[in-house]
Copies of this chain bind each other. A is one copy, B any other.
């Protein structure tokens, strides 16, 4: 229908194809007359450039891909939105693919991105990512920025630009806080321990025990790979068990929900009978009664930093080489943590 091409504009303006292209792209070497005529003809005809053709010729699509487990998870959604906003300002379009952490789908999506000549990628692979996966990603020279993951097994681990969240420091601070309140038996509930965030948190958790000199035998790790609603059942089992924890650190929204449900079912009052600390601050955490003490970091910053890092590469400006960003994690004190009851302390 519309299909008004650069050729039509050239015809209307009475100049050549190349002149139109130059005029429209503000190139050098174009006379005032031509510039004016072309501009006029273009608007009169309602010319809209065809990005596809342009991309084919320039070998750059103006698109950036994003590999993420699931957009409907607000954690990812916020990151994506922030990244999208910044990339759009720079003239890029962000395409996100939800891969459910499935390596097959990650590979497929990455391939499609490359087939469409995407200019860059933001990736947060699942735990299935291995050596060859990373190698494949790097193949073809498309700039890649890693979102809170470790390119384990990839050559030049440290060379990958990445934006990382200081989960280690956060978890350590949270654990120290609970230890300081007098808790000794603290349980850490986490989903996939093979991925960076969980791994770092576990390390921080253990380091807090070590550094404060508290007997680490009270530290309990509860790890499961299906994240959805396992937490509720798990928490019940945990709380009914022999060495019942007096505090729980719940990693993620879904797990926090499970923990809170379990506590209610067992008629345990938070924080009297059980202290709860959420990793990640959500509406659920802040509105719940009692309000849940939480570790918080800025998802917007993650998205923004990732976009910045990528844009830097895209400009070919590897400037100074600050290729990784480490974002800090804050402990937001609220009402869900208190010293343990004495009877629970009686080892």
List A residues at the B interface (Cβ < 8 Å). Answer: 1-2, 48-53, 55-56, 61, 70-74, 76-78, 80-81, 84-85, 88, 93-98, 111-112, 114-117, 139-141, 253-254, 257, 260-261, 264, 282-284, 286-289, 299
Report B-chain residues with C-beta under 8 Å of the C-beta of A56: 50, 52-53, 56
Docked Cα-Cα span, A124 to B65, in Å, equals: 23
Q: Whose C-beta in chain B lies nearest to the C-beta of A72?
A: B77
A96 in contact with B93 (CB, 8 Å): no
Q: Which residues of B contact A49 (CB under 8 A)?
A: 115
Could you say which of B111, B115, B261 contacts A287, with CB atoms under 8 Å apart? B261
Contact sample, A vs B, 25 pairs, CB 8 Å cutoff: A2-B140, A48-B114, A50-B115, A51-B112, A51-B116, A52-B55, A52-B56, A52-B117, A53-B56, A71-B77, A71-B84, A71-B96, A72-B81, A76-B77, A81-B98, A84-B97, A84-B98, A85-B98, A93-B97, A253-B283, A260-B289, A284-B284, A284-B288, A288-B288, A288-B289
Contact: A70 with B81, CB < 8 Å?
yes
Please name the residue on chain B nearest to A105 by beta carbon: B88
Indicate whether A140 sits within 8 Å of B1 (C-beta atoms), given known contacts A56-B53, A287-B261: yes
| In the complex, chain B residues whose CB is within 8 Å of the CB of A282 | 283
Contact residues of A: prevailing secondary structure = helix
In angstroms, Cα B96 to Cα A327, docked, is 27
A2 to B117, CA, bound (A): 12
16 additional contacts, CB 8 Å, given A72-B81, A84-B97, A84-B98?
A1-B141, A50-B56, A52-B52, A52-B55, A53-B56, A71-B80, A71-B81, A72-B80, A73-B74, A88-B97, A93-B116, A94-B95, A253-B283, A261-B287, A284-B288, A287-B288
Query: Which residues from B are CB-within-8-Å of A283?
Result: 253-254, 257, 282, 284
**Measured CA separation A269–B61 after assembly (Å):** 56
The 7 closest A-B pairs by CB, nearest first: A72-B77, A72-B78, A72-B81, A257-B287, A51-B116, A51-B115, A77-B77
Selected from B73, B115, B287, the residue in CB contact (under 8 A) with A48 is B115
Interchain CA distance A257-B288 in the complex, whole Å = 9
Task: For the complex formed, measure the closest distance between the CB of A102 and the CB atoms of chain B, giving whole angstroms.
Answer: 12
In the complex, which residues of chain B have a beta carbon less than 8 angstroms from the beta carbon of A93?
95, 97, 112, 116
Residue of B whose beta carbon sits closest to that of A70: B81
Whether B84 lies near A73 (C-beta < 8 A) is no
Residues of B within 8 A of A115 (CB): 48-51
Chain B residues with Cβ below 8 Å from A257 are 283, 286-287
In the complex, what residues of B have CB within 8 A of residue A98's CB?
81, 84-85
Scoring A77, A84, A88 by chain B CB atoms within 10 A of each residue's CB, the highest score goes to A77
Q: Which residues of B contact A254 (CB under 8 A)?
A: 283
